[in-house]
Structure 1
Amino acid sequence: MKALCWEGINDVRVQDVPDPKLLGDQDMILKVRLSTVCGSDLHLLTGHIPFMQAGDVIGHEFMGEVVEVGSGVTRHRPGDRVVVCSFIVCGRCWYCRNELYSLCDNTNTNPAITQHLWGADPGGIFGYSHAMGGFRGSHAEYVRVPFADHTAIPIPEAVEDMSALFASDSVPTGWMGADLGGVKPGDVVAVWGCGAVGQMAARAAQLLGAERVLVIDRFDYRLRQAELAFGVETINYADTSVGEALLEATGGRGPDVCIEAVGCEAHSTGPQYAYDQVKSKLKLEMDRPIAVREAIYNCRKGGSVFVLGVFTGLVDKFPLGALMNKGLTVRGAQQHGQRYIPMLLDRIASGELVTNHLATHVMPLSEGARGYEIFKKKEDDCVRSVFKL
């Protein structure tokens, strides 16, 4: 079969790879219909996440049609349409039973790597390096889905393929940021990052009752898209002081909830960007926490900061004093998708949650390298490249 493979830094190619096979009775083989790039995939392309091997199939946000199931699969049968959560979960460990699905104890097949890095191993992820299990990703004609009854979710008939696609990762990730960030009716919410996850966090905040939602980015086309789709307020940090704009919007207090949806390669116009770039290139820090710092500094006293962006290790100049003395609650997580996806599919079916506008560039898998190129360079107003198989 054909698949898009990582061959080195900034080098992805469509190649022939062996067809997947059932390896256990809880496995399922899925024929992929749609698979999309994700901002966190760019960390793989740039070599920021070092645990890749040439020939690894990438991609983790996808939907498709069931073609084969193991004898232990009871929820799905051939011909079903399903969306697959990016995190593989067993459904029975302590973390799964407590709906902390991305922390599943039984799906990361290379736990020693992340135990060394973080003191514990989270669950496995499709196509996201050998640190997260080394599973083949979704930019392929077929994918093996382990623990299929818990990892894949049926798609309601009223939800078309493209809308369902983003329920795999972007939508539940964004919703989790607003939910676990504690958004409640009447709040003012600020979201750093206006890609797919940031837009979904903003919409989730609205649906949870936020009075005002402001999104922060430097690309006008992404800000315009969010404004048109959801009516949010926008701040372009390239030409506006974020701190001043947020104080003005909140009567001098600051947002109640700040959601960081940027991650470990954040950009800035200030001197902190040069500082973090130099430190990371010299391996004196691993990530650029610019947006996290800004969220902590600008959140109101007693407010909440939620970190949605992917981070890999140690950062410098973390504002611990601001966090403590302002009485902030700071949380972070990879998505607990299985907690949210069924509910989100129902909201998509009802029309209150729109997602298909994120697919700005739809193309065949054979153009996978180009899809990543325009997504990475933000060319042609690309929000998401989607591969149609």
Structure 2
Amino acid sequence: MPKPRGRGTAAEPRRTVKASSGRARAAPPEEPRARGGAAAGSPAALRDGAERPASSRARPKGAKAAKAAKAKAARAAAERPASPKARAGRARAAEPARAAPRKRRAPPASAEEDAALSPPRAPELDWDDTQSGSPAEVLAQRWTERGEQLFQELAAHGASLHEYRADLKEGRFVWLAPGGRVSAEARARLLCSWSRATSVLVMAWADPFFRATGVERIDGLLAEQDDVDEEGAWQIAMEAADACGAAYLYRVASPQAWYFLALDALTFAPERSSFHPGAPVGLVLRGIRDAREAIASRAEPADVIRDRLSALSESLLHQARYAYRDTDWVARLDRTGACLMHLAKRIPRESFSAIAAGQRVGEWLERELAVELLDALSLIEDEWSLFG
């Protein structure tokens, strides 16, 4: 198929092939033709070219009218006010050029990426084995390690989950197996006691009830301190244990108070394989006497007196179900604990029910209520004194 002819280009020569000879013969080139179809230089092309200038120079009729219309349109456009778009364009052109926004830089690589890409370095070792921190922190760390050591020794002999009992009168601290056999035993001395109701800490040598079973006086430690929190009680107990050379420090918690004991001479082959707790008479009498003194002296508010009686009641009920279970003291401890709880509830709290009942609610105990509480505590004390 012949290619289309371009403008002003000659046509490609045609070749004809005879069937008999098989040779191709080039056809003579054709003369170029003009765009109108006539060949260049032909009479038709000359005739067309001569006629076109004449037709372009010819003007249409009414040229003056068209010229007048154009002039009128130009005057109307000049008198017309500028459009808002044009004014906005001029205003924008008058504004100062704004700076182009800065290109955002790539965020810096994180420390983990730097560590992953950086070559390995030799580890930095600290060869200083000295302990850092305040003396209180060093003391706490030392006694914490000793406590872990005690637990590991008990676990090695299968006594870490056994119940413990303390008899300060005999100076015994034992761990009891489920069958009642003593699995481990240590010598116990009282360091100090901390009241949960009054936040008062008393050293053993200043407590008349535990003076014979506690440690001797330690220089630098006060005999009694007020407003001591749990952390402060632990700190004082650790200082006392460190001063008296105790092997371990053990806390015995009860609903009424915490007792910090110094343990020594731990053995897993005790001489006595059984344990029988002593009479709870001293524990009950001490709690009742402390409550009577607090009420009679009017040194403590009503809320503190209520908390003291409630804590003593819970302590006796706890001892009846724990240390003195299966003994003859269970019934007496339960009855005394219930009486003390009833006395604690006699002290009104600030509530709508107390006001509706006509009870006087104040910071301090009323005289009549204080007398009733003292009489009831005296009866309980007389009952337990018979067993002393």
Same fold (TM over 0.5): no
TM class by shorter chain equals under 0.3
| Higher RCO (CA-CA < 8 Å; seq separation 6+) | 1
Larger Rg, first or second structure (1 or 2): 2
User: Whose strand proportion is higher, 1 or 2?
Assistant: 1
User: Whose helix proportion is higher, 1 or 2?
Assistant: 2
TM-score between both structures, scaled by the size of structure 2: 0.25
